[in-house]
Structure 1
Amino acid sequence: MAAVAALVVWLLVRQGLQVDWPGVWQALRALPVPTLAAAAALAWAGHLVYGCFDLFGRHVVRHRLGAARTMGVTLIAYPFTLNLGSLIGGASVRYRLYSRQGLDVGQIAQVISLSIATNWLGYCVLACALFWAWTPPLPEGWRMGSGQLPWLGTVLACVALGYLALCARRGGHRPLMLRGRRLPLPTWRVALLQLVLSCTHWALMAASVWVLARQQVPYAAALATVLLGAVAGLVSRIPAGLGVLEAVGTAVLAVHLPVSQALAVVLAFRAVYYFAPLAPAALALLATELWWRRHQPTTSSQEKTAPSAFQTSASSY
């Protein structure tokens, strides 16, 4: 894995040296303020929709936290997930916030598992629709050809249908057993709601890219930038897919835009979707830490590091 990461970094550095950075900077400065504001609004809407994902875990696990607190935990953790990786954001921040409010490790792992399922459920469906309806250009050096994408989309759609079928068969009364642990499943109606919200989340992300491109690219290209960038970042294991999203997005968008402008669009998207929400999330996390230390001066046993089983469950986020 270290060798793969090193190879990816080397390729990104090599590509970076070939970029017309003055042209990219000029393209960034040329983005109108209303365009940036609209893209930021769509990005924040995407974060808000993602904040609902843990509500499915709350519904199925039936923990005692209210909906507003559950969404607050998700909205704080999500920017850390985007920028620092799954274990820090998807697991560690959630574990710290949830455990201090009385949830045990098993409940937290179940909530995160259902959030993971929600996130990738919509991805599978949108990827299938995109890959069959439109063939996105792939970055140079990818082992998979564009002609294989429709069949990959079919596989992903089968995964989503399999989840819905499993929820229809066992949801609400027969938990799924994974490595000796119980994972309760929602009913098929709740699973359909998961699908709708997840598709909305990914669609809002793509809409932010599309607006930053000033509608000069097809919406399908913006959606491909988001979907391919997400899976490329996941495979590379580089935190936040730093450089990977830029390489993929530039390859997809450069068919319709100059390379410098395409890269400027992806960099602006990273700024409004990844970086901008991190500051308020960090402030919110700091505020909760200060509040907790004032009202709970003694450290409870629940604040210890989560067991490895919990980390394993969350690492697939």
Structure 2
Amino acid sequence: MERKRWHTWAKRLFTLLFLVLIPVLLFTLARNLDWDEVRQSLLAYKPGSLAVGMVMALCSFLIFASYDLLARSYIGHTLPARQVLPVAFVCYAFNLNFTTWVGGVALRYRLYSRLGLDTPTITRILTLGLLTNWMGYMLLAGGIFALRLVELPSSWPVGTGGLQLIGFVLLAITFAYLVACGTASKRTWQWRDHELTLPSLRLALCQVALGASNWAVMALLIDWLLPDQAFYPSVLGVLLISCVAGVVAHIPAGLGVLETVFLGLLHGQFGQGSLVAALLAYRTLYYLIPLVLAVMTYLILEKRAKAMRRREKPA
């Protein structure tokens, strides 16, 4: 009990430090930033380049939505892809902009329950999706960190050597998961009120591949928006670090966290103006435009669900 209480307070303190540190860093950045350079960098984007970036963003959303198709194979429910993909797309867009509890959890339960799935089935979809996302993350982050493709500032407490050790640990976890899926005799595990059944090795490999692909495409979009001299593995590594920081900080859309980490780790490679412009363009293409599309899709889904309920009512 004492250990749990200490863990809770440590997590709150860590989150509070993020909430204090990020505004301070952003204020310092905004005060010293050449906003004319940011404006010129934004105006320099060609419509064709932004269109390619939008295609990359939509490809990432399609990959993420495929997590739920993978879960359909794992669970065996009969909802068609034309119903699964819009739900997954809406939930991902809301998840990115309004935290996991709003988009990833609450909205997923609401939309899937209206399509006839029960709570345990939705929970298993959610669980497999989380595993897919973070197993792919651990494979990529483990490789990037273990190969020391991201150089941390000397002032950071972890350091490049510590990050490399974390990379080896992440790779070991990913490998252990795949081995367990392929060889474990006990396939079902119980934890409190939750039950987890290990997928087959083939499905687990698909999980890791899909999860890694999604993170890779996200980084590719940022790399596309940065100047030509960007080193893609470094961009990918910085994105992976910033996403974990965003999860810890619990800030909707990771607002300010992404920018702080990128500016802290890549400020020596790019001008601050061009880097901020790239991140603003990324947020527009990957967060705001998909959110608008998701809101419209959600309204359509709600309208269809309402019509279905009317048809099902006895005359």
Specify the TM-score bucket, using the shorter chain as the normaliser. 0.7 to 0.9
Instruction: Give me the whole-angstrom Cα distance separating, in 2, the residues matched to 1:15 and 1:221.
Output: 22
Report the equivalent of 2:5: none
Bigger Cα displacement from structure 2, 286-295 vs 189-198:
286-295
Report the equivalent of 2:51: 37
Report the equivalent of 2:67: 53
Native 8 Å contact 2:225 2:278 kept in 1: yes
One-letter amino acid of the counterpart of residue 158, structure 2: M
Report the equivalent of 1:277: 290
One-letter amino acid of the counterpart of residue 210, structure 1: D
Report the equivalent of 2:274: 261
Native 8 Å contact 1:23 1:260 kept in 2: yes
1:146 aligns with 2:160: yes
> What does 1:215-234 correspond to in 2, within 5 Å?
215-234=228-247
> What does 1:27-176 correspond to in 2, within 5 Å?
27-138=41-152, 142-170=156-184, 174-176=187-189
Task: Report the identity percentage.
Answer: 34
1:294 aligns with 2:307: yes
Bigger Cα displacement from structure 2, 128-137 vs 102-111:
128-137
SS at match of 1:255: coil
Instruction: Give me the whole-angstrom Cα distance separating, in 1, the residues matched to 2:204 and 2:112.
Output: 23
Cα deviations across residues 208-239 of structure 1 (Å, max 9, x unaligned)?
Answer: 11111143211112212321111110111111
Native 8 Å contact 1:135 1:146 kept in 2: no
Native 8 Å contact 1:139 1:247 kept in 2: no
Native 8 Å contact 1:60 1:185 kept in 2: no
SS at match of 1:31: coil
Cα deviations across residues 254-293 of structure 1 (Å, max 9, x unaligned)?
Answer: 2221111111111211111111111111101011112222
Native 8 Å contact 2:33 2:273 kept in 1: yes
Instruction: Give me the whole-angstrom Cα distance separating, in 1, the residues matched to 2:221 and 2:309.
Output: 41
Native 8 Å contact 2:56 2:217 kept in 1: yes
Native 8 Å contact 1:81 1:88 kept in 2: yes
Deviation at 1:176, TM superposition (A): 2.1
Deviation at 1:141, TM superposition (A): 6.2
Native 8 Å contact 1:21 1:260 kept in 2: yes
Total equivalences in the alignment: 299
Structure number having the greater helix percentage: 2
Instruction: Give me the whole-angstrom Cα distance separating, in 2, the residues matched to 1:144 and 1:7.
Output: 20
One-letter amino acid of the counterpart of residue 60, structure 1: Y
Bigger Cα displacement from structure 2, 186-195 vs 12-21:
12-21
Deviation at 1:297, TM superposition (A): 4.7
Native 8 Å contact 1:35 1:214 kept in 2: no
Instruction: Give me the whole-angstrom Cα distance separating, in 2, the residues matched to 1:223 and 1:132.
Output: 13
TM normalised by structure 2 equals: 0.88
Cα deviations across residues 128-162 of structure 1 (Å, max 9, x unaligned)?
Answer: 11113244244786432222111111111112112
Residues 104 and 244 of structure 1, relative CA distance in 2, 3 Å threshold: same
SS at match of 2:190: strand
Residues 97 and 218 of structure 1, relative CA distance in 2, 3 Å threshold: same
Instruction: Give me the whole-angstrom Cα distance separating, in 2, the residues matched to 1:266 and 1:139.
Output: 21
Report the equivalent of 2:7: none
Instruction: Give me the whole-angstrom Cα distance separating, in 2, the residues matched to 1:269 and 1:225.
Output: 14
Report the equivalent of 1:245: 258
Instruction: Give me the whole-angstrom Cα distance separating, in 2, the residues matched to 1:191 and 1:6.
Output: 36
SS at match of 2:224: helix
Report the equivalent of 1:308: none
TM normalised by structure 1 equals: 0.87
Report the equivalent of 1:8: 21
1:179 aligns with 2:219: no
Report the equivalent of 2:204: 191
Instruction: Give me the whole-angstrom Cα distance separating, in 2, the residues matched to 1:99 and 1:120.
Output: 25
Cα deviations across residues 45-98 of structure 1 (Å, max 9, x unaligned)?
Answer: 111111100122211211221233222211111010111100111011111110
When the two chains are superposed, the root-mean-square deviation of aligned CA atoms in Å is: 2.2
Of 205, 224, 227, 1:211 maps to 224
